[in-house]
Structure 1
C-alpha cells in the first residue's frame, strides 16, 4: 500500500432530505448517507474499524466540507478530484478539523466533539462499513 496523507477539503454541495443527506463532489458525482442522523449532544465515539466521515455544513445548509478520518483505502488523487478531505491521526492524537469541530483517535476508535455554534453550521458524523451505516448530528446541549 502506498503512503497516504492529509488532504484539505473543498466546498461541496449538500442537500438535507427526509430520506438522508446527499453530498455532491466537485467532479459532479453524488453520494448518499441514508436515514435521518441521530441527534447527539456534543460528542460521539465511533466504533473501531469503521469508516468515519465528518460533514460540516454552512449556515444555509446547501454547502459543506467533508473529511474522512483515518481513511487508508482511498488514494490521494481520488480525494483531491472529488473535493473530499482526509485527516490521519495516531493513537492519542487530536486535531481541530474546523473551528468548533475536534477529532481524536483513542486506539482504533474515533471521537468527534463539536460545538455547532462555533462551527457556524450543522455537524454530521457518518460511521460505516460493509455491514451497515449510522449517522449522527452533533448538537449543542439543551
Structure 2
C-alpha cells in the first residue's frame, strides 16, 4: 500500500493534562504531546518539513479526532490500527478537515491551518514536530486569549 493515501480518522481518547495533551489510540497505546499549548487566534503556519498533527476534541474534551497532514512516513495499516487519519495535499491545495478547521499546503513545504473553535464545537490543537523539536498550539477565541494573558500577568507578581 502506498503511504500517500487519505485515511479517515476514528475517535481517539483525549486527556488534557497540566503538562500536555495525552492521546489514547484505538489500539490502547498512548502518546503525550508535551507542553502547554501556545494559544493561536487566527492562522498557524508551520515551518518547512515539520510533521503536522491536528486534533479536534468533542465538547466533553475526553475524545476527539486526529489527522496527520501530509505524513509520508506512517504506513496505512499503522494509521488504521491507531484511529489516526491522514490527509495528503499538493502545493496550493486546501481542505476542510472538520467543520471550522481548514488546512492549506503552501509553497516551501509549509502547512497553514485556520480554525474557529466555536464552529468546531471543541478544542482544536495542532502539534508540530520533527526529530529534534516539538511544539503545541491551541486555537482559541480572541476573548480566551485575552483571559489567558490576564491570568499569566497576574501570576507574574
Unaligned 5+ runs, structure 2: 144-157
Unaligned 5+ runs, structure 1: none
The structure carrying a bigger strand percent of its residues is: 1
Aligned positions, number: 142
Taking structure 1 as the reference length, what is the TM-score of the superposition? 0.97
What residue in structure 2 maps to residue 35 of structure 1? 35
Q: Does the C-alpha gap of structure 1 residues 3 and 29 become closer, same or farther in structure 2, counting only changes over 3 Å?
A: closer
Aligned 1:57-136 pairs, distance under 5 A: 57-107=57-107, 108-136=109-137
Asked if structure 1 preserves the Cα contact closer than 8 Å seen for 2:3 and 2:76, the reply is: no
Per the TM alignment, residue 2 of structure 1 is displaced from its structure 2 partner at its CA by 3.7
The root-mean-square deviation of aligned C-alpha atoms, in Å, is 1.1
- Rg bigger for which structure? 2
Q: Does the C-alpha gap of structure 1 residues 3 and 124 become closer, same or farther in structure 2, counting only changes over 3 Å?
A: closer
Structure 1 runs of 4+ with >6 Å offset? none
Taking structure 2 as the reference length, what is the TM-score of the superposition? 0.88
Asked if structure 1 preserves the Cα contact closer than 8 Å seen for 2:3 and 2:74, the reply is: no
